[in-house]
Structure 1
Amino acid sequence: MQKSIDNRTKNRSQMRRGSLADQLHYKFDNFMSRGTVALVSGLALVSLAFIFLMSVLVSLFGVAPEGSDRLDLPESLWSVLMRTLDSGTVGGDTGWAFRLTMLFVTFGGIFVVSTLIGLLSNGINTKLEDLRKGRSRVIETDHIVILGWSLQIFTLISELALANANRPNTCIVVLSELDKVQMETDLYDTLGKLSRIRLVCRTGSPSSMVDLGMVSIQTARSIIILNPSHDQADTQLVKTLLAITSIPRSHSQPYHIVAQVQTPKTLDVIKLIGQNEVEPLLSNDLISRIVVQTCRQSGLSIVYMDLLNFSGDEIYFKAEPALHGKTYGQALLSYNDSTVIGIQHANGAIQLNPPSDTLLQADGQLIAISKDDDTIHLTKHVNPPIDSQAIRIAEPAIARAEHTLILGWSDRVSNIIQQLDHYVAPGSTVVVMAEFPAAEVDLSEETLQLQKQTVSYQQGNPTDRAVLERLNLLEYDHVVVLCNPALDAEQADAQTLVTLLHLRDISDRHQHDFQIVTEILDVRNQALAQVARPDDFVISEQIVSLMLAQVSEQKQINAVLADLFNAEGSEIYLKPVTNYVAVDYPVNFYTVVEAGRQRGESAIGYRRQADANNMAMSFGIVINPPKDQLIEFKPEDVIIVLAES
């Protein structure tokens, strides 16, 4: 009885373990599933064992070619190896014993060694395919990482290349879900070969911690997050920020993250996630403010482009101990080749164009426009050469009602109208025309809460010449042409260009010069827009790209840009030169700066109206001119200033 029980137990144990063949089959399956490295290693060992075994047998039994001496072990190893690698070698063998033995060796080579070579070849192809897919790890430090992909990336990388031209071996790593080869092709076709900049593209998700580790996010100097404009854009941004901040930093410095944000409500969430590590750029709001400011002043967008790109003069911060205890007004005249525009106080607060009698504190810094951060030097003039006789202080012009036409529709329309209300005089009007039925558009008083303007809406197609003719364009001072967000960039820009051509033709026919601001999404279409001769451009993707590049290089710039484009405080204005100096004879820019100081303004440049349509001359815009250089102004020229209004 006990023996029967023991047998049943033994049988059940054998059933659980399986037969020897099953166990060997199971172990073989496990081995095969380990991948190419395990297979190559296993087959290499089998191949070596087979070659060695056959060599020993050949040497031991004295198998040799007819008429040859017995082969020793080294010679037999070589003979067997050659026949496993090349099946044609057996064709020259003599003696049937040796032929049959080597034929067996050759068959072994075909089944074992050839399989090994095939696996090696497949492994190499697989590795090359992985490299093509952009899934290999980036081993970099102090590099710039761009997360995401949009039209902004071309201008962004171009500007970063200019900003880092004096830093050899700068690496810019792009991580997006696009194919690596496609990204590299698009970047090369648009930007060409960038000197002294290494571009590395990787395919992956910006919100994946594994993929972020692949681009060495923890060692990056700065991180730029591109955030396309769609409903879930900020949701993905929050996920990406959470993933980045969950990866421990490899340096003592905190992360420097510049993030493009679509909606203001996301800012509170970003503060909770990144604290002081994230510099958010509220792109839609900033573009709306720029549209409003540029639609009222011809040439203003060119000033912004000049300040924001790295090919001209930029904004820098400068600690100047020699000026501590002096006033802001004295600081305005203390530099010949740089232009002071504000102060950063000891607590980090930014104040552009403060009152002239504001004292400069020991822990504060000046905010200045200069060619580079190492070109901000105090003037050699002990007493600035100011021509007091040339200064003219004119009375401010009386504000009048303005009439604005907005063609097209986007999510920014309401914000544009609300921002415009901060600048215009009472009695101003805004007319919006788009293809949507009036019932689908909310421009009610309750929504907009305007103080100085009235708003009306008309349904119509802005690309239709007859529709534009019926609008009576002669009544308007400013026209804003917006792109259709429902279309791709090329189609939207094409419609904008058609509208622009009609507007300029109507303007020329009636000899009525109204101010036109055009939104162009793709910077590559800017040259086409020049044909229609618009006064200004607001290239949405380019403006945002320039801001992202500036903030990625200088974290403090974000606060300056927020103040500069805010309706409260000082903004950039272009005002008649006759309000500042006489135009009867040449004067230097020291005199212009002093005239501005007496008006509570900071002069930063001028515009020659004679070159207003000359692209090669920056449309007449000159920022940060040498202050001791004589300038021959014309009555139609304007001075560019930072002022309250």
Structure 2
Amino acid sequence: MASHPNKPNAIREGLDRIIAKGSLSFVFLIFLVGLVVNFVVAAITALVELEPKENYLSKLANEMWINVNFTFLGGSGPDHFWARVFIPITAILTIGVTAIIFAYTTNKLSDYLTELRKGKSPITFVDHTLILGWSNRIYSVIRELDTANQNQKNPVIVVFSNMDRGEMETLLKANLGDVKHTKIITREGDPTNINELTRANAPGSKSIIILDASSDSDATVISTILAIQAIDNSSLVPIVAEMDSDLYSEALEESLERSISIVRSNQLITRITAQSTRAAGLTPVLLDLLDFDGDEIYFGLATELIGHTYGDSLTAFEEAAIIGLRNSEGIIFVNPPGDTVIGEGDHVIAIAKDDDRIIFAGLAPELDSIKNQSRELEAHTYREPERILVLGWSQMGHNVISEMLPFLPPNSTLQVIADSRIADISGLTGDPFPGLAVTYTEAPTTVGQLADSVSGTRYDEVMILAYREGVSAHDADSRTLATILVMNRLFSVENNGVEPTRLIAELLDSKNLPLAKVASADDLVMSDNLAALLIAQLSENADLKPIFDDLFDIQGATINIYPIERYVPMGQGISFQELVAHAHSFGESAIGYRIDLDHREDAQAGVRLNPSKSIRFTPAAGDGLIVVGPATV
């Protein structure tokens, strides 16, 4: 049986309950106490000041008004004798009530401002891009979204993370500077907590991006997706999430009835790094398609081409390079057969500077004779074995070499030079890559030792891979930049046995890109940037995912750069439209070309992506045609 509290405790508990109900209850209590005290004072004053013919209740009401006016409204107090007796009580009450209310209001206002500084207030915006979580990719994602928002009206990005809001603001300002086109709002909270997530207004957002700094587990991302589903199962808002597990990502994409695009960061980095080794200049092409600067991938309704073929569409747009079709049912076909007939409701998949540049310019029947030649690239009966040098190592290195393996000629060799203190080289023992001879050398401590390790061999490819275990991203990139400088120094010294070779380097942090340009690598793969670019693209248009999946998968259509002499004779002027027709005769979709003289100075400068069909140039030895087509060995 519960015991009854004594009176002081009962009063204290009663006050606690009233205060717990909120500020209005507390203010009402103070007001009520003031009224009671004023009533007692007024009753006593009215009684002692009552004249013989006066009505007591009327006198009481008048005294009560005078006291309340003095206590709560700051009016003048009573001026009779008894007023001077009781006025100290009333004055003390006035000061006490005012002080209590002022202190309480100040405290509540302070709490409210603290909550605002912590980012605890709800989001009232709609059509905002909502970023849940935090990782080092967030800066690249926001930069890309800001570029995409150039022509939008009052765009907003909301960052909702369990990181301290002040720290978020500091990091964003330090790494982004002034964002030109987009308002960025931060809120502190747990994205996996349903009650806290409601403050982010996920149902009212345009798209949702989920980032996760953990490379060991996808648990946070999965919990966040389920939390979104719990508060918004309408499936109207697309989700783009960064994950590593194929099993869990496929399960989420298939089980939830909403648009979920999973970006597998490590897989994407592996595939782009491997593709970059196949041709000089391929990296800037891939980056151009992924970012919002320059040319992007769009869908254009192909009304004028109904009844015509995909081959006809390739030369029918002056300022757009066609790479595929999306049929009326939404199914994507990248580089389909040239005789594929375009039906009603079909769209062309085009590379263009903007979607309003996809303008039908007319058919080119004069090129049909070239298109219909149905040629094939010459098969190589014998290819010289390739020699690959890799400086630095991690699990990513194992993945990249595995991705390259199908394209390497028989009897190729791989030499790995790495620091075993910060790299697990156990996977290099035995026969890790069937058909590829592997040798491992411990990383030297001097330039001379490195020169001795690599001299005497003509390498076809030199890759500098970032260390990913045992060092920070900053330290790993510092090692990469130093290695680039050392290799370029060795390349520049004559008669040291180290021949100049194309150099591909991986950076973990894209902020170091300016330093890498000074160090001078032929092609740069920026790991944190690649996934961020794709995440930003899919948040703006989730329909692009199957296109990128196809382009980055060696089993599908891929982007290649082939020697231009395979298509046309050297030294004769030709239009890009004619080059497109020649590429079509090989079953490929041409999207640009690379000029070798420009590329020798700057990998980016030599690439011409989506030039006008009417532009003319004279091919020379070393130039390449950039095409979308089947992967070839």
Q: TM-score, structure 2 length as denominator?
A: 0.87
For the structure 1 residues 255 and 273, does the alpha-carbon distance in structure 2 shift closer, same or farther, using more than 3 Å as the test?
A: farther
| SS of equivalent to 2:322 | strand
1:404 maps to which of 364, 388, 403? 388
Residue in 2 that maps onto 1:636: 622
Q: Which residue number in structure 2 is paired with residue 505 of structure 1?
A: 489
Distance 1:132 1:273, change over 3 A: farther
Say which of 401, 404, 412 aligns to 1:420: 404
Matched, 1:166 2:148: no
| Alignment match of 2:238 (pick from 248, 256, 275) | 256
- 1:451-466 aligned at under 5 Å gives the runs 452-460=435-443, 464-466=446-448
Distance in structure 2 (CA, Å) of the matches to 1:503 and 1:35: 69
Once residues 513 and 535 of structure 2 are traced to their aligned partners in structure 1, the CA distance between those partners, rounded to angstroms, is 20
Residues 1:259 and 1:582: Cα distance change in structure 2 (over 3 Å): same
1:243 corresponds to which letter in structure 2? A
Which deviates the most, 411-420 or 478-487? 478-487
CA contact (8 A) 2:576 2:613 kept: yes
Shift of 1:222: 1.2
Distance 1:335 1:74 in 2: 86
CA–CA distance in structure 2, aligned partners of residues 431 and 51 of structure 1: 94
> Does the 8 Å contact 2:71/2:93 carry over to 1?
no
Aligned partner of 2:460 in structure 1 is 477
Distance 1:509 1:32, change over 3 A: same
* 1:57 to 1:559, Cα distance in 2 relative to 1, 3 A: farther
1:341 to 318, 323, 334: 323
| Corresponding position: 1:559 with 2:546 | yes
Contact 1:339/1:604, CA 8 A, preserved across alignment: yes
Q: Is the 8 A contact 2:38 2:64 kept in 1?
A: no
SS at 2:357 equivalent: coil
Q: Which amino acid aligns with 2:629?
A: A
Amino acid at match of 2:528: E
Shift in Å, 1:349: 4.1
Query: Hey, what does 1:309 align to over in structure 2?
Result: 291
Among candidates 563, 566, 580, match of residue 579 of structure 1 = 566
Q: Taking structure 1 as reference, are residues 126 and 560 closer, same or farther at Cα in structure 2, changes over 3 Å only?
A: same
| Equivalent position amino acid for 2:438 in 1 | V
**1:625 maps onto 2:608 in alignment:** no
Q: What residue in structure 2 maps to residue 215 of structure 1? A: 200
Q: Could you tell me whether the CA contact under 8 Å between 2:45 and 2:82 is conserved in 1?
A: no
Per-residue deviation, residues 318-377 of structure 1 (Å, max 9, x unmatched):
231322332221111111110001223455443322232233344543211011222211
Q: Kindly indicate whether residue 523 of structure 2 is the aligned counterpart of residue 536 of structure 1.
A: yes
Match of 1:367 among 326, 349, 374: 349
CA distance in 1 between partners of 2:561 and 2:11 (Å): 86
Q: Relative to 1, partners in 2 of residues 1:445 and 1:227: Cα closer, same or farther, differing over 3 Å?
A: farther
Identify the residue that residue 118 of structure 1 maps to in structure 2.
103
Distance change (3 Å), C-alpha of 1:325 and 1:48: farther
Consecutive unaligned residues of structure 1, counting only runs of 5 or more, are 1-11, 64-69
Q: Percent identity?
A: 30
Separation (CA, whole Å) in 2 of partners of 1:466 and 1:97: 105
Q: Distance in 1 between matches of 2:73 and 2:203?
A: 51
Gaps of 5+ in 2: 51-58
How far the C-alpha of 1:220 sits from its partner, in A, is: 2.1
Task: Please report how far the alpha carbon of residue 303 of structure 1 lies from its aligned counterpart in structure 2 after TM superposition.
Answer: 0.7
User: Secondary structure at 1:421's aligned position in 2?
Assistant: helix
1:231 and 2:216 matched: yes
Conserved? CA contact 2:385–2:411, under 8 Å = yes
Once residues 275 and 631 of structure 1 are traced to their aligned partners in structure 2, the CA distance between those partners, rounded to angstroms, is 50
Query: Contact 1:410 / 1:484 at 8 angstroms: preserved in 2?
Result: yes
| Residues 613 and 76 of structure 1: CA distance in aligned 2, closer, same or farther (over 3 Å) | farther
SS at match of 1:374: helix
Per-residue deviation at 1:456?
2.6
Matches within 5 A, 1:167-186: 167-186=152-171
Check conservation: 2:312, 2:364, Cα contact below 8 A: no
- Counterparts of 1:61 and 1:612 in 2: how far apart (Å)? 106
Corresponding pairs, count: 612
Residue 54 of structure 2 corresponds to which residue in structure 1? Answer: none
1:381/1:631 Cα in 2 relative to 1: closer, same or farther (>3 Å)?
A: farther
Alpha-carbon distance, 1:43 to partner: 2.3
Q: In structure 2, what is the equivalent of residue 205 of structure 1? A: 190
**CA 1:320–1:79: 2 relative to 1, 3 Å:** same
Cα distance change of structure 1 residues 559 and 272 upon mapping to structure 2, 3 Å threshold? closer
Mapped partners of 2:34, 2:618: distance in 1 = 89
SS at match of 2:226: helix
2:583 and 2:191 mapped to 1: Cα distance?
48
CA deviation after TM superposition for structure 1 residue 182, in Å: 1.9
Larger deviation, residues 48-57 vs 632-641: 48-57
Shift of 1:97: 5.8
1:443 paired residue number: 428
Write the mapping of 1:15-164 to structure 2, written as runs, cut at 5 A: 16-47=3-34, 50=37, 77-81=68-72, 100-164=85-149
Distance change in 2, residues 1:141/1:51 (3 Å): farther
SS in structure 1 at match of 2:395: coil
Determine if contact 1:406/1:482 at 8 Å carries over to the other structure. Answer: yes
Report the more deviating stretch, 157-166 or 510-519: 510-519
Code of the residue aligned with 2:412 in structure 1: it is: S
> Alpha-carbon deviation of 1:586?
3.7
1:505-524 equivalences in 2 (<5 Å): 505-510=489-494, 512-524=499-511
Distance 1:405 1:35 in 2: 70
Does the Cα contact within 8 Å between 2:312 and 2:363 map onto a contact in 1? no
1:290 to 272, 279, 283: 272
Distance between the aligned counterparts of 2:294 and 2:40, measured in 1?
Answer: 76
What is the CA-CA distance between 1:560 and the residue it aligns to? 0.9
CA distance in 1, matches of 2:82, 2:598: 98
Task: Give 2:55's aligned residue.
Answer: none
Change (3 A) 1:94 1:466: farther
Q: 2:225 aligns with which of 238, 241, 265?
A: 241
**Which amino acid in the other structure matches residue 124 of structure 1?**
L
Kindly tell me: are residues 226 and 467 of structure 1, through their superposed partners in 2, closer, same or farther at Cα, counting changes over 3 Å?
farther
Q: CA RMSD in A?
A: 3.3
CA deviations over 1:368-393 (Å, ceiling 9, x no partner): 101122221101466568997xx999
Instruction: Assess if the C-alpha contact under 8 Å between 2:253 and 2:261 holds in 1.
Output: no
SS in 2 for 1:458: strand
Checking the alignment, whether the CA contact within 8 Å between 1:281 and 1:548 is kept in structure 2 is: yes
Please tell me whether the aligned partners of residues 405 and 480 of structure 1 are also in contact (alpha carbons under 8 angstroms): yes
With over 3 angstroms needed to count, the CA separation of the structure-2 counterparts of 1:73 and 1:321, relative to structure 1, is same
Q: Which amino acid aligns with 1:293?
A: Q
Deviation of 1:599 after TM superposition, in Å, equals 2.3
The 1:56/1:341 distance shift into structure 2, 3 A limit, reads farther
CA distance in 1, matches of 2:505, 2:213: 20
Indicate how the Cα distance of structure 1 residues 47 and 399 shifts in structure 2: closer, same or farther if over 3 A, else same. Answer: farther
**TM-score (ref. length: structure 1):** 0.86
Query: Contact conserved, 1:386 with 1:591, CA < 8 A, in 2?
Result: no
Residue identity opposite 2:162 in structure 1: E
SS at match of 1:612: helix
Residues 443, 455 of structure 1: 8 Å contact kept: yes
- Greater shift, 405-414 or 527-536, is seen at 405-414
Q: Which residue identity does 1:140 align to in structure 2?
A: F
Give 1:50 deviation, angstroms. Answer: 4.6
Quick one: which amino acid aligns to residue 399 of structure 1? R
